[in-house]
Structure 1
Amino acid sequence: MAARTHFRPHPATTGGVATRLPWWALALPALAFATLLVLILNPSHAHAAPGDPAVTQLLQRAQALLVR
C-alpha cells in the first residue's frame, strides 16, 4: 500500500536569515572588470610572453587531437 505524500501549500522559508556577501565577493569582480577595461582602452600595456616552441607544438597537437 502506497503512502500518501503531503505537499506544503507554500514553499518553506528560511526563517528570516539574511545572507551577506563577504567584501571580496564584490571587490574581485570589480577589480577584474577595471583591469580588463584598462587593457581594452590601452592595449599597448598588454604584452604576450615569449612562448617556448615545444609548448606551442604540444598545444597545437592537443588541439588537433580534440578537433578530430
Structure 2
Amino acid sequence: MSAAHPRHAENGARPVRLPWWAVALPVVSFVTLLFVMTPAAEARAADAPPAVLSVLHLLARLVGAGV
C-alpha cells in the first residue's frame, strides 16, 4: 500500500462533501448562544444608536433575559 493513495480511493468511494449551510448553521448557533449567555451587566451597548438598543432590548425580552 502506497502513502500517495488515500484509503477511500482504493475501494472507489468518494469523500463526503457537506453543503455550505451544514457548516454555517452550527457556527451561527454557537455565536448566538454565546451572545445570549453574555450577562447584560457586561454588555457595552450604550454607544449604539437608539434603534439598535430597542431591538436588542426586544430580543433580550424574547429570550427571557428580562431587560
TM-score by length of 1: 0.42
Q: Greater relative contact order (Cα 8 A, min sep 6): structure 1 or 2?
A: 2
TM-score by length of 2: 0.42
